[in-house]
C-alpha cells in the first residue's frame, strides 16, 4: 500500500508540473520531506493532515493517497490552496522586504481565485511582507503581497520583487527609451537608473496586496 501511495503521489506531482520541494512547503515541511517520502520511504506513511491537504490540493480522493475508502463529507478546504508566507526578518533598506529564505505560517486562498488572478501554478507563489514606505501609497509598510516567482519576465509598469546587488526590494519597473528604471511610487524617492544591469535579478511579479485595517 505504501509503495502505491508513493507512486500515486509522484505521478500527481509530475502530471501537475510541480516539484518535491514546493509540495513539501505546501505542507509546512522542510524542502526535502516529500522527496524522502517518495524515494526513501521516510516517513513510512503520510500523516493524516498531510494526506488530507495533498488530496485537497491535487483534487483527488484521499483513498488514492492511502486514506479511507468511501466518500467524505464536503470540506471547505477542498477548494483552497495554501501559500507559504515569508515572515519579515530585516529590512533591506527603503522599500525592502524580508529575506526570502525565512518562512512562516501559510495562508489559504481559493484556487479558482488564484487562477483568475493569473497564477497557474500555486507552487510558485509566496506571500511577502513589505518593509518601508518607498512604495506608498500603493504599498504600505506591513502590507502582505502575493508574489508569483514564476513570472520573472519584466512587464513595464508592473510591480516586481527584485534583487539589486545585495539588496532585496519591491519596486515598479518602467522601460523608458533604452533604460529600465527602478521606480518607487512614493515621489520622495528618486528613480534608480544608474546601475549595472547584470546586477539586477527579478524574483517575481506582485499579483495582489492585502493589509490590516
The DSSP bridge partners found for residue 46 are: none
The answer to whether the pTM exceeds 0.75 is: no
Q: Which fold has domain 2-69?
A: 434 Repressor (Amino-terminal Domain) (1.10.260)
H or E, element range at 54: helix 48-58
**65 with 72: CB under 8 angstroms?**
no
pLDDT at 74: 44
**Span 70-94, mean pLDDT?**
58
Q: Is pLDDT above 80 for 72?
A: no
135-139, 146-150, 157-161: the lowest-pLDDT one: 146-150
Q: What are phi and psi of 127, to 5 degrees?
A: -100, 130
Q: Where are the domains of the chain?
A: 2-69, 79-210
Highest mean pLDDT among 64-78, 84-98, 117-131, 159-173: 159-173
**108 with 94: CB under 8 angstroms?**
no
**209 with 158: CB under 8 angstroms?**
no
Confidence of residue 54 (pLDDT cuts 50, 70, 90): confident
Q: What's the mean per-residue pLDDT of the chain?
A: 81
Q: What are phi and psi of 78, to 5 degrees?
A: -60, -30
- Superfamily covering domain 79-210: Umud Fragment, subunit A (2.10.109.10)
Amino acid at each position: 500500500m505504501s509503495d502505491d501511495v508513493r507512486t500515486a503521489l509522484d505521478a500527481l506531482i509530475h502530471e501537475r508540473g510541480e516539484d518535491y520541494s514546493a509540495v513539501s512547503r505546501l505542507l509546512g515541511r522542510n524542502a526535502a520531506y516529500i522527496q524522502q517520502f517518495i524515494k526513501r520511504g521516510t516517513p513510512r506513511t503520510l500523516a493524516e493532515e498531510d494526506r488530507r491537504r495533498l488530496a485537497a490540493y491535487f483534487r483527488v480522493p484521499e483513498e488514492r493517497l492511502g486514506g479511507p475508502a468511501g466518500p467524505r463529507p464536503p470540506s471547505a478546504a477542498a477548494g483552497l490552496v495554501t501559500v507559504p508566507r515569508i515572515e519579515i526578518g530585516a529590512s533591506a533598506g527603503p522599500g525592502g522586504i524580508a529575506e526570502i529564505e525565512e518562512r512562516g505560517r501559510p495562508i489559504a486562498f481559493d484556487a479558482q481565485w488564484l487562477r483568475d488572478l493569473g497564477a497557474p501554478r500555486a507552487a510558485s507563489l509566496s506571500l511577502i511582507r513589505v518593509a518601508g514606505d518607498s512604495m506608498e501609497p500603493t504599498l504600505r509598510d506591513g502590507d502582505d503581497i502575493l508574489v508569483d516567482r514564476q513570472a520573472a519576465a519584466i512587464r513595464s509598469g508592473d510591480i516586481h520583487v527584485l534583487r539589486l546587488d545585495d539588496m532585496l526590494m519591491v519596486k515598479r519597473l518602467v522601460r523608458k527609451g533604452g533604460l529600465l528604471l527602478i521606480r518607487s511610487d512614493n515621489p520622495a524617492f528618486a528613480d534608480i537608473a544608474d546601475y549595472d544591469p547584470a546586477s539586477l535579478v527579478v524574483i517575481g511579479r506582485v499579483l495582489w496586496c492585502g493589509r490590516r485595517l
